[in-house]
Amino acid sequence: MIARLIGDARHVAIGAASPIPASGALLLKSQQPSLRVSLHQRRRANPFTEGSRELFDLAGQGRIDVFFLGGAQIDGEANINLVRAGEKRFPGSFGSAFMYPVIPRTILFREEHSRRALVPRVEFVSARGEPFALLTGKALFSWQKGARRFRLESVHPGHAVDEIQADTGFGFDSPARVPTTPSPTAVQLALLRGRVAKEIAADYPEFAARVWDA
């Protein structure tokens, strides 16, 4: 699904702590070699030569088409919070406050789909922008620019619309019949488990070992 969302972009960049978006982007690259994938945190053969500011300079110039952002909290207005909630302190906003409004196609990604993560209103707006989509571990939403509301596009296999309603803290639109998110093909799965897992393991050894046993 991540590969589908990136679509026909020329350049996708992946920020800090994003092994799943990185895997999806590398999967797409293996099938679409003209795609440029820049992993910001790559330990070896990092794509940048102007230090850690280059990602932002590229984005500011419009040279990056797609970027992924997460959030400790994400709300129905598509605001994200990476700073604090209640008594809890999170790591901080990273580059999100800049990237979200600047990147043409921002994809919000949060594996946890719960009322704790998807809230009516974030307690701190780290960044505000117009996303392309919100992808969670249970469902895919598109963003309706005019109405400023999410729309449920598909539910992942093994999950149901009732469950999505129950586990989402904000209101969203939903079509009469919600399709099931297509599973990866056998070829895609083989690539994910093989070449992509190996590539990811260099930067996310813990993730690769846990998920792919790589």
Partner 1 sequence: MEVVRALIRRRARGLKLLGVPVLGFSADLLIGAGCVAEVETSAVSLGEAGLAPRFTEAAQKGEIKIRDATCPAIHTALQAAEKGVPFMPLRGVLGSDLLSGRADWKVLQNPFAEGADPILYVPAIAPDIALFHARWADEAGNVWIGRRKEVATIAHAAKRTLATFEELRAGDMLEDELLAPGVVAAVYVEAAAPARRGAWPLGVADAYDIDDEHLARYAKAARTREGFQRYLDEFVCTRKKNSLPA
**Beta strands of 63-104 (E only): which ranges?**
66-69, 73-75, 80-81, 84-85, 88-89
Cβ proximity to partner 1: between 90 and 170 the closer is 90
DSSP run (H or E) holding 142: strand 139-144
Q: Least separation, in Å, of the C-beta of 174 and partner 1?
A: 27
Q: Least separation, in Å, of the C-beta of 146 and partner 1?
A: 18
Cβ proximity to partner 1: between 124 and 212 the closer is 124
Which positions touch partner 1 (CB under 8 A)?
16-17, 41, 43-44, 46, 48-54, 56-57, 60, 82-83, 87-102, 124-129, 204-207
Place of tokens 């469902």: 139
Cβ proximity to partner 1: between 123 and 163 the closer is 123
Cβ proximity to partner 1: between 85 and 178 the closer is 85
Q: Least separation, in Å, of the C-beta of 56 and partner 1?
A: 4
Taking alpha carbons only, the member of 142, 121, 122, 107 closest to residue 72 is: 122
Q: Least separation, in Å, of the C-beta of 29 and partner 1?
A: 22
CA–CA separation, 99 and 138 (whole Å): 25
CA–CA separation, 164 and 181 (whole Å): 13
What are the residues whose beta carbons fall under 8 Å from the beta carbon of 132, sequence distance 6 or more? Answer: 5, 66, 105, 106, 107, 142, 143
Q: Least separation, in Å, of the C-beta of 99 and partner 1?
A: 7
Q: Least separation, in Å, of the C-beta of 153 and partner 1?
A: 25
Cβ proximity to partner 1: between 92 and 179 the closer is 92
Which token pair is 110? 């949060």
Cβ proximity to partner 1: between 42 and 195 the closer is 42
CA–CA separation, 71 and 107 (whole Å): 11
What are the residues whose beta carbons fall under 8 Å from the beta carbon of 98, sequence distance 6 or more? Answer: 56, 59, 60, 127
21-34 in b/e form (b: 16+ CB < 10 A) is bbbbbbbbbbeeee
